[in-house]
Amino acid sequence: MFIIGHRGAAGLAPENTILAIKTAIDHNVDAIEFDIRVTKDKKLVLCHDDTFLRIAGNSSKVEDLKLSEIRKIRTNSKQNIPTLEEAIKAAGKTPLIIEGKSGGWAKPLAEVLKNHKAPGVRVISYSHRELFVFSELMPDVSTFVIENHHPIEAMLLAKKLGFTGVSLAAWLYSPVAYSFAKRHNLELITSPINPTWRIRLFHFFYPKAMITTDFPDRVMNHNLRRKRKRIKK
């Protein structure tokens, strides 16, 4: 079972923060997902929304502020807004799932990844055009289309544009979609699944899909305990 910590570990720590990344690592995730947006001066910071209103009570848009201005913002949980470089450093050897939000991130992301070692990077996005630009700049990095409505169409597009796979909403999975992906050698990532029983049931039916969750402790700690029991036997 391949478990991805969503926005770090959003159910256990403030989303898209260094604390969330470290919390995900503490719970033995297989990869860490977070969101990136472009600042006014073309730097990349971790933020899901287009403004800081929800996480920091600041209605400014990410794209309207320079990095020096964003560094002065503290979230409601008293955390800093990390840069991509800081997130890569915090993640260490843990693979990353980087979601590019909106547009303009392809070129700066390629530059950061060329200058900072990050193992097992996968880049996902709703913006197919931006994802394609990135794939042309970094053909060796895995790329995934995000889709919440039409799984087969998304897979056909991914295959046509040479992407690695698709990131599908969990409710879109079916035996037909899963078989289609396997037949076309496309990798699969889910949207977040949080109840432990749902994660295990999903894995039973779709064992090759990478599962995203806000609560990696519910699965990874259980798996670790089972491994230790097997070793003792």
Tokens of 41: 């001066």
Give me the catalytic one of 6, 128, 150, 203.
Answer: 6
- Helix (H), strand (E) at residue 213: strand 211-213
* DSSP at 63: G
Give me the catalytic one of 48, 116, 203, 222.
Answer: 48
Helix axes 18-26, 84-91, angle to 10 degrees: 20
Whether residue 45 contacts residue 106, with contact meaning beta carbons closer than 8 Å, is answered with no
Residue 6 designated active-site: yes
DSSP string, 105-169: -HHHHHHHHHHS--TT-EEEES-HHHHHHHHHH-TTSEEEEEESS-HHHHHHHHHHHT-SEEEE-
Residue 149 designated active-site: no
Query: Closest by alpha carbon to 131, among 168, 152, 167, 103?
Result: 103
Q: Does residue 89 sit in helix, strand or coil?
A: helix
Q: Does residue 15 sit in helix, strand or coil?
A: coil
Where in the sequence numbering do the catalytic residues fall?
Answer: 6, 48
